Amino acid sequence: MKNFNVALLQLMPEDSLEGNLKKGIAACRKAKEMDADLALFPEMWSTGYHIPENGEGRKAYSVSADSPFVQTFGRLAKELDMAIGITFLEEYQPLPRNSLCLFDRFGNRKFLYAKVHTCDFGEESRLTAGDDFYVADLDTRQGHIKIGAMICYDREFPESARILMLKGAEIVLVPNACPMEINRLSQLRARAYENMIGIATVNYPSGQPDCNGHSSAFDGMAYKPSETVSRDTLVIEAGEQEGIYLARFPIDELREYRRHEVHGNAYRHPQKYHLLISEAIEEPFLRADYRK
């Protein structure tokens, strides 16, 4: 596989589910014209990252994974012969979830991922957190590739990308809805570098509250045989404006790099990391709003 092309749909949401459905369909069609293998939406596209305060409002805004909204993108994936990662406020008990459904180019659901690290210090305390990370074997026109996913705040925990790498992910999808500045971009660059994986992040454009575009992709390859010094792993960084940005990941190069470089799971000592699975939290990290 020479390249795996991910269309980052840096779109401004409409003011209704139907509006987001229509705009999302049009964006996917455009992504196909750009030769994308996969089109990825920003975080919680169905609502434009809106989480109502009261229970009735959340119920009205949430949709199930089998809803017409989500399933439309499954059918569209089959029609376009292109994978689609659609994000939505998922109907779930006792509280909705912040979810991503990945459809392959045949319209099959490969996984349904719910955000594990919900922002419980804010409005996501009104959501149910996910309980696992998933990796799927995605059949593309050029061959198979292992795809994983994490959502926004998940990236701030090295464990998220690490688990996805250990499960075999080669590319990790990251729907996002927050200001992408130097530190958050540095986190993504680090997750790609330390795990030798590609990371594709899509954000809402400037004009959406608390967002500023700068969707990005990193290929995770710090070195190339033809170069004598380390290189920037950045594949693409969008500006602040609405648009569709194509990230081209050189998969054959990435696979060869992973076969001989020193990161990822090559030299780890997990038997020495027992403290990482301890549930103890002490000062200065105690928070009254923390949820397990």
* C-alpha span between 113 and 156 (Å, rounded): 17
> For residue 29, what is the enclosing H or E element?
helix 17-33
Active site residues: 43, 115, 152
- And the tokens for 15? 């003011």
- And the tokens for 147? 């795809």
In DSSP terms, 132 is beta-bridged to none
> What angle, rounded to 10 degrees, do the helices at 17-33 and 68-80 form?
10
Are 233 and 261 contacting, i.e. CB atoms less than 8 angstroms apart? no
Does residue 40 sit in helix, strand or coil? Answer: strand
Burial of residue 269, with CB atoms counted within 10 A of its CB: 0-12 exposed, 13-18 middle, 19 or more buried: exposed
* C-alpha span between 174 and 177 (Å, rounded): 10
Backbone phi, psi, residue 22, to 5°: -65, -45
**Closest C-alpha to 146, from 132, 135, 161:** 135
> For residue 217, what is the enclosing H or E element?
strand 216-218
